[in-house]
Structure 1
Amino acid sequence: MSSTNARTLLLVPLLGLLWGFNWPAVRISLSEIAPWTLRAGGMTFAGLTLVVIALLRGQSLRVRRPEWPRLLLAGFLSIAAFNVLLAFAQLMAPTSRAAILTFTMPIWATLLARLWLGEALDRRKLLGLALGIAGLASLGLPLIRGGGLTLGLLFALIAALSWALGTIVTKRWPVSAPAVTVAAWQLLIGGAVAALGMLAFEGLPVPKMLAPRTLAALSFHILGAQALAYFLWFTVIARLPAGIASIGTLMVPAVGVLGSVVLLGERPSPSDWLGLVLVVAASGTILLPARPLASLKAAR
């Protein structure tokens, strides 16, 4: 393995930590910042960050006119609706449970790809789906029996489905532009949608002094989990196989749950922990290639 790839590999767990701790950071930020306002600012800043990255790399920001409708639809589903729904999910439900439910995204994407794109379900994907169903049952059945199902958890589940639908749209009607360009425009689309929601439901934000804890969480959300994380993500996927890069995303729900325990004082139940293990196992089975180490050797 080259020294460059070895150093890049160290960025994978860092990404998992940045995106994982973003869950409690967003929840803390929401204690003083309205959800539409938070998402409008966060997505817009992230989109502008990717614009800068694209320009520094000499990549074009141009998207062909016939491809704008599919870009708008995918951006609305996988970025705008996904992020706004999760903001309200975290206001109405424990962050740890919302993180676990949200990470069923690859499971729904696999099912929808089978139904709408005709993609085959091999043994690995079937195992992933079975683990995912078991994880949802572990989470949901105790809540149903105890009357603990909330609107916030429903929002988290709809957010996962919305992301999966956006993925299907992207697969079915791809946009012929660099990945960083597509992501930048989708985030800016998400920021514009959230800004409209902000104006409609919250009005223009009034500047105010935030508590130190909230300010620290907001700074981490914008600078760490948005600007830095997106820069690192596109650095990783440019140098390592997609399967290896995906390992970092598998850390996100686990770090999110642990962060919620440490920073928010949440106490997940045994069924929550079991659901977390099963959902991460399901996503790993679906996302990772059969031989991730072989893929890594190919990058030498």
Structure 2
Amino acid sequence: MTAPRKGFDQLAILMLALFWGLNWPAVRAALFDLPPWTLRAIGMGAGALFLLIVALIQGQRLWLKRGEWLPILGAGFLTITLFNLLLAFAQLAAPTTRAVIVTFTLPVWTVIFARLFLGERLDRRRQIGLAFGVAGLICLGWPLILAGTFSYGLVLALIAGMSWALGTIVIKRFPVSVPPISAAAWQLAAGSFVAAIGMALFEPQVLRDGLDWQGFQTRTWIALFHHVVFSQAFAYLIWYNLLGRLPAGTVSLSTLLVPAIGVISSVLLLGERPTATDFAGLILMTLAACAVMLPMGKARSPEPAAASGATG
């Protein structure tokens, strides 16, 4: 790889982490004016449309074979649909900074599920990652439990991380040959469809009266623009462009930066004030992810999920 190309790829990885990290406060800001089911229907629907157009332009195979529908949609339900919906409600019930930290137990859950369902060995490096992850959860949650301020939103964030991890196991257990960008488009489209059903059931006033677009605050417009254009459209385009040239493990390292960017940007943009134990939990979770994801020697880097960057 030439030096200019390597520098461009490194910049792209940083931009990817920035887009997904900033999406955490963007989603929380958008939720001030948009109900959760509606926000997810808009975001996932726009992302699906963009990826379908890109796949068509690139001449990628769009239609799934008979045996590909179930694993693609099953993994997508876990890594995209359930993950995104749970986090929308988690951010309504808990500070975004804490939701970010708890959600990023996902590399640890991936190791646990890989052991349970794929029989993958728990080597020393993964054991260290699990220890850091458990310590991070205790550091974050125990003071809240003692103070009586533990929120169910953190439980939703934890389940979201488990859902994302389980989705990666599904796609590992049942690999498919469809181009990743096409798989992501179908997964986002299915997620948007589920969110639209949720709109009809739980937010019928939106379908009946429409959205009060004129009443949106400026921050809502900015947040929605970032969520749709940068976090969904551009980020996924960068993600799959990098996957086409670099090892999957190298590209997935961009997710190591997401929780730190999510926490720092939530402090700056939302005015949240994490405690010392919150920051300690963030450090421990980051160490856990590094232990699990960073390649060491000739160890094989884990494959990323088919279409998720843990965006918030």
Structure 1 length as normaliser, TM-score?
0.94
The structural deviation recorded for 1:171 is 1.1
User: Partner letter of residue 282 of structure 1?
Assistant: A
Aligned equivalent of 1:207: 211
Indicate conservation of the 8 Å contact 1:70/1:169, yes or no. yes
Aligned equivalent of 1:73: 74
Aligned partners of 2:108 and 2:229: how far apart in 1? 30
Aligned equivalent of 1:252: 258
The structural deviation recorded for 1:175 is 2.2
Aligned partners of 2:211 and 2:131: how far apart in 1? 49
Moved more, 5-14 or 155-164: 5-14
Aligned equivalent of 1:177: 178
1:33-76, Cα deviation, whole Å (9 max, x unpaired): 00000001101111111112222222101211122122222111
1:221 to 227, 248, 266: 227
1:83-111, Cα deviation, whole Å (9 max, x unpaired): 00000000000000000111111110110
The structural deviation recorded for 1:207 is 3.0
* 1:14 is aligned to 2:11: no
Aligned partners of 2:250 and 2:163: how far apart in 1? 25
Aligned partners of 1:247 and 1:166: how far apart in 2? 18
State how 1:1-300 maps to structure 2 within 5 Å: 1-2=1-2, 3-203=4-204, 204=207, 206-208=210-212, 209=214, 210-291=216-297
1:178-206, Cα deviation, whole Å (9 max, x unpaired): 11111111111111111111111102161
Stretches of structure 1 lacking an aligned partner (at least 5 in a row): 296-300
User: Partner letter of residue 118 of structure 2?
Assistant: L
User: Partner letter of residue 85 of structure 1?
Assistant: L
1:216-240, Cα deviation, whole Å (9 max, x unpaired): 1111111111111111111122222
1:12-51, Cα deviation, whole Å (9 max, x unpaired): 1111111001000000000000000000110111111111
The structural deviation recorded for 1:291 is 4.9
Indicate conservation of the 8 Å contact 1:5/1:239, yes or no. no
Aligned partners of 1:270 and 1:64: how far apart in 2? 51
Structure 2 length as normaliser, TM-score?
0.91
User: Partner letter of residue 252 of structure 1?
Assistant: V
Stretches of structure 2 lacking an aligned partner (at least 5 in a row): 302-312
* 3-state SS of 2:211 partner: coil
Indicate conservation of the 8 Å contact 1:63/1:176, yes or no. no
* 3-state SS of 1:10 partner: helix
Aligned partners of 2:223 and 2:72: how far apart in 1? 31
Indicate conservation of the 8 Å contact 1:96/1:257, yes or no. yes
Distance change (3 Å), C-alpha of 1:228 and 1:291? farther
The structural deviation recorded for 1:246 is 2.0
* 3-state SS of 2:201 partner: helix
Aligned partners of 1:261 and 1:156: how far apart in 2? 18
Aligned partners of 2:226 and 2:109: how far apart in 1? 30
Moved more, 215-224 or 49-58: 49-58
Aligned partners of 1:47 and 1:287: how far apart in 2? 28
Where does structure 1 differ by over 6 angstroms across 4 or more consecutive aligned residues? none
Aligned equivalent of 2:306: none
User: Partner letter of residue 43 of structure 2?
Assistant: G
Identity %: 52
User: Partner letter of residue 217 of structure 1?
Assistant: A
Between the two proteins, the alignment pairs up a number of residues equal to 294
